[in-house]
Amino acid sequence: MSLTTIPIVDLNEFVKGDNESKQKFVEELGKAFEETGFVSVRNHGVPQELIDRYYTLTENFFQLTTEQKKAYEIPEYAGQRGYTSFGREHAKGSEAPDLKEFWQIGQEVEGEVLDKKDYPDNIKVNELPEFADLGNQLFKSFEKSGKELLRAIGIHLGIGEFYFDQHIHNGNSILRAIHYPPITQEPKSSIRAEAHEDINLITLLVGASADGLQLLNKQDEWLNITAPEGCIVVNVGDMLQRLTNNKLRSTTHRVVNPPKEKWHTHRYSIPFFLHPRSEMRLDCLPSCVTEKNPLAYPASSAGEYLDERLREIGLKK
């Protein structure tokens, strides 16, 4: 199995650099997203202390008893808020459940009233009073970093630096804390997370607590992903791939099981799935539809597409 260091970009070049540095960042990010769909970002602006504190609380939450955790599982939320128990989610097209449980928080809406159907209240954990507030702080920090990355993507696509701003303001983003428990018996067909593509615009992922993340390259080879310490991994989601008519790649990835001698270990991961508002149109950009690259997707809103995908992965009936 090959070990690959995905392309590295420095967000400070875009946020604080001169015009030359800014353009260099846009070109590097665009190239990475067109060729591999993944990139490592340094100087991303998400405080390490905040990440570390939330990781500790995440571990504390998943150490609660099953009965305690299930008190925070609300089926009608379709896994979009609170706890989702082990084995409930599966990859699109797969019958085998992923070997994980997770916790999710969503947008704390500011300055307007939005439908509770799309924006249910976040859930507080009685046993961990800090968990909700700290999660919201991390959510907002990821969102700020993601906005800058989307501004660079807007320039790369020629649709304007601020094209995405209005679409992600009070967007339906999700911060997910994932626990992959120790493996106690030979898995029948599952791995920790089967091959899949993310649903959203972009995903920002802080370094997981153990190895296992792999991407599928253009040669159909699975590559272990590594990122330098202090970087976050960012990848293109299906919504951005649809919007750009496959110009930017939503790369297939998975989380494999550890070697048998490490089955006793836990793995934790905290991805931020940056979603737009439900009403954003995902109709392919006219500039991305050409004779060589004909229209690949039907017209759809972000909300319609999210609903379809949640049903496909088993979180919504």
Going by pLDDT thresholds of 50, 70 and 90, the confidence category of residue 316 is low
pLDDT at position 40, please?
92
pLDDT at position 1, please?
42
Give pLDDT tens digits for 276-314: 999 999 999 999 999 999 999 999 999 999 888 888 776
Is the distance from CB of 245 to CB of 296 less than 8 angstroms? yes
The answer to whether residue 67 scores a pLDDT higher than 60 is yes
Angle at 192 between CA 188 and CA 193, to 5 degrees: 110
Is the distance from CB of 119 to CB of 109 less than 8 angstroms? yes
CA distance 284 to 305: 13
Is the distance from CB of 202 to CB of 236 less than 8 angstroms? yes
Going by pLDDT thresholds of 50, 70 and 90, the confidence category of residue 174 is very high
Domain borders along the chain are 2-312
The answer to whether residue 256 scores a pLDDT higher than 50 is yes
The CATH number, out of the four listed (2.60.120.330, 3.40.50.300, 1.20.120.160, 3.40.630.30), of the domain defined by the range 2-312: 2.60.120.330
The answer to whether residue 221 scores a pLDDT higher than 50 is yes
Going by pLDDT thresholds of 50, 70 and 90, the confidence category of residue 95 is low
CB atoms within 10 A of CB 135: 24
CA distance 200 to 149: 14
Q: What is the pTM of this model?
A: 0.90
CA distance 146 to 167: 12
